Structure formats: structure tokens, C-alpha cells
Amino acid sequence: MEVFLKTGRLILRRFTEDDVGHLFDLDGDPEVMRFLNGGKPVSRKEIAREYHKRFEGFGCWAAVEKFTGEFLGWFEFRPREGGNPGEVELGYRLRRSVWGKGYATEGSRALIQKGFTELGARRVVAQTMAVNLASRRVMEKSGLEHARTFHLEWEDPLPGTEHGEVEYALTKEDWERQDAARREQLPGKAGPVEQGFPDVP
Ligand SMILES: CC(C)(COP(=O)(O)OP(=O)(O)OC[C@H]1O[C@@H](n2cnc3c(N)ncnc32)[C@H](O)[C@@H]1OP(=O)(O)O)[C@@H](O)C(=O)NCCC(=O)NCCS
């Protein structure tokens, strides 16, 4: 298993062929795909064609539960197409059964930390439909701030498109300030902060 990152509860690892079934099930849930393609099913063929492309540059990783190995979904963290040098885009998609447990925030915070401290990232950005409130909340809880709302032209717009797309961003300087503030709040102000989530023994 090629592990990229571990957090208190998650392992982000390279995709394998076995994940095609997991991805098929994930994208087969209309609620998961609601703000991505309006909830249309994605064919297994398309998934099989695409999944191996999910490991380029910074990458896209399968997220599994650290102790059970259960497939939870995926995270991506990669230089933005046409973006400024050092600008990295964050994304995530998780199974509906595990929503609301803080996994997306936990993985995002860990990726952001690794990006700024090890991978040379200067700015992290994330985009979603304005109406995707769960995704926006994850961005906020991960320290990103609303940077802009913009409108795109779509041939077949999804419900809610009229409210536009939002972009959130976090610079390395702001992340360092947030990190210092988190450390200040620690009892005794000592020891490393692991993305605000203690490692589960
Ligand atoms: C977006 C997604 C990854 C969030 O995953 P998650 O593990 O549930 O996220 P977290 O538990 O870390 O945080 C979710 C937050 O959103 C909040 N939230 C969820 N639904 C919400 C809604 N409809 N309105 C407002 N807030 C909402 C939760 O209450 C939680 O905030 P809180 O901790 O302050 O209570 C998950 O919903 C998902 O996979 N969605 C489908 C794919 C997708 O839309 N990806 C993003 C595309 S850009």
C-alpha cells in the first residue's frame, strides 16, 4: 500500500485497481454527485478509464479508515490548471454514510499542512457551487476564506447554478498565523499540533 499521508483517523493512499468498484459505488450515489453532475450515474467503464489518472503531480488519493481500511472516498490536492506557481487546488468526495463525522475537514487540514510545510505550496484554493454548503463549510473549517463568487456558462446547468460558483483560498502566511494561534491555545503551549485532531491511539 503506497501511503501518502496519515491523520488521526485516515490514511490517504494510492488508488489500486480494486478501487474501481469503490469509485463506481461512490459516484453511483445521486446525493454524492448532486453538485457535480446533478446526480447522474457514472459508468464503470468511465471510472475504470479515469481512476488511474488520479495520481499525478501532487495527486489524488483514496481515503480509507485508518484502523478498518474501509474505503471512505478520495481527496485531491494538486497544482491548479493554469494557476499561479505554488497554487494548489483542494477537492474531496466521500461516501454519504460517513458524512458529518469531520473526515473531510481532517483530511483537508492534513493536506494543507503538508502542502505548506513540505510540498512548497504558497496558496491553497478550493471551488464549489455556491449552494454546496457542506463543501463550503469544510473549506471554512480548514481555514480557507471566501475569495470570490463567479458565474460560468454551462450547456446543461445544474439546479443552483444561478447562485454561481465560489472560490475559497488560504495563503501560506495566513495558515502560519492560524497555526501559531492554534499552538497558543494548547495547554502548556507545547508539542506539535496535528491538524487540530489528536492521533487516536
Ligand atoms: C462535501 C463533503 C466532502 C463533506 O464531507 P464531511 O466529511 O461530511 O465534512 P465534515 O464532516 O468535515 O464537515 C461538514 C460540515 O458541513 C456542514 N453541513 C453539512 N451539510 C450542510 C448543509 N446542507 N448546510 C450547511 N452546513 C452543512 C456540517 O454540519 C459540517 O459542519 P460542522 O462541523 O460545523 O457541523 C461531503 O458532503 C461529500 O462528499 N459531498 C459530495 C461530493 C462533493 O460535493 N464534494 C465537493 C465538491 S467541490
Residue 109 lies in a domain: yes
Residue 56 lies in a domain: yes
Residue 119 lies in a domain: yes
Cα 140 to ligand 1 centroid, rounded to whole Å? 11
Q: How far apart are the first and last CA of the chain?
A: 21
Q: What would the pLDDT profile of 74-91 be if each residue is shown by its tens digit?
A: 999 999 888 888 999 999
Residue 1 is predicted with a pLDDT of 83
pLDDT greater at residue 56 or residue 100: 100
For 6, list phi and psi in degrees, rounded to 5. -125, 145
Residue 195 lies in a domain: no
Q: Which of 165, 158, 129 is nearest to 40 (CA)?
A: 158
Q: Which of 185, 29, 36, 195 is nearest to 105 (CA)?
A: 195
Residue 190 is predicted with a pLDDT of 55
Q: What would the pLDDT profile of 169-197 be if each residue is shown by its tens digit?
A: 999 999 999 999 999 998 876 555 555 44
Residue 26 lies in a domain: yes
Chain-wide mean pLDDT for the chain? Answer: 91
User: For the residues 146-171, what does the mean pLDDT come to?
Assistant: 95
Residues in the chain: 201
Give whole-number Cα distances, 84 to 13, 53, 89, 125, in Å. 27, 22, 11, 11
pTM: 0.92
Number of domains in the chain: 1
Whether residue 128 has its Cβ less than 6 Å from ligand 1 = yes
Identify the weakest region by mean pLDDT among 25-29, 46-50, 115-119. Answer: 46-50
Whether residue 100 has its Cβ less than 6 Å from ligand 1 = yes
Residue 57 is predicted with a pLDDT of 62
Instruction: Provide, rounded to the nearest whole percent, the portion of the chain with pLDDT above 90.
Output: 79
Residue 72 lies in a domain: yes
Residue 197 is predicted with a pLDDT of 47
Residue 199 lies in a domain: no
Residue 197 lies in a domain: no
Whether residue 144 has its Cβ less than 6 Å from ligand 1 = no
Residue 157 DSSP label: P
Owning domain of residue 129: 3-189
Residue 200 is predicted with a pLDDT of 39
Q: What letter represents residue 147's amino acid?
A: A
Residues 6+ apart with CB under 8 A from 127: 89, 165, 166, 167, 168
For 13, list phi and psi in degrees, rounded to 5. -130, 165
Residue 127 is predicted with a pLDDT of 97
State how far the Cα of 196 lies from the Cα of 201, in Å rounded to an integer: 15
Whether residue 132 has its Cβ less than 6 Å from ligand 1 = yes
State how far the Cα of 13 lies from the Cα of 27, in Å rounded to an integer: 19
Q: Whose CA is nearest to atom 34 of ligand 1?
A: 137
Kindly report the CATH number assigned to the domain that includes residue 17.
3.40.630.30
Q: Whose CA is nearest to atom 25 of ligand 1?
A: 133
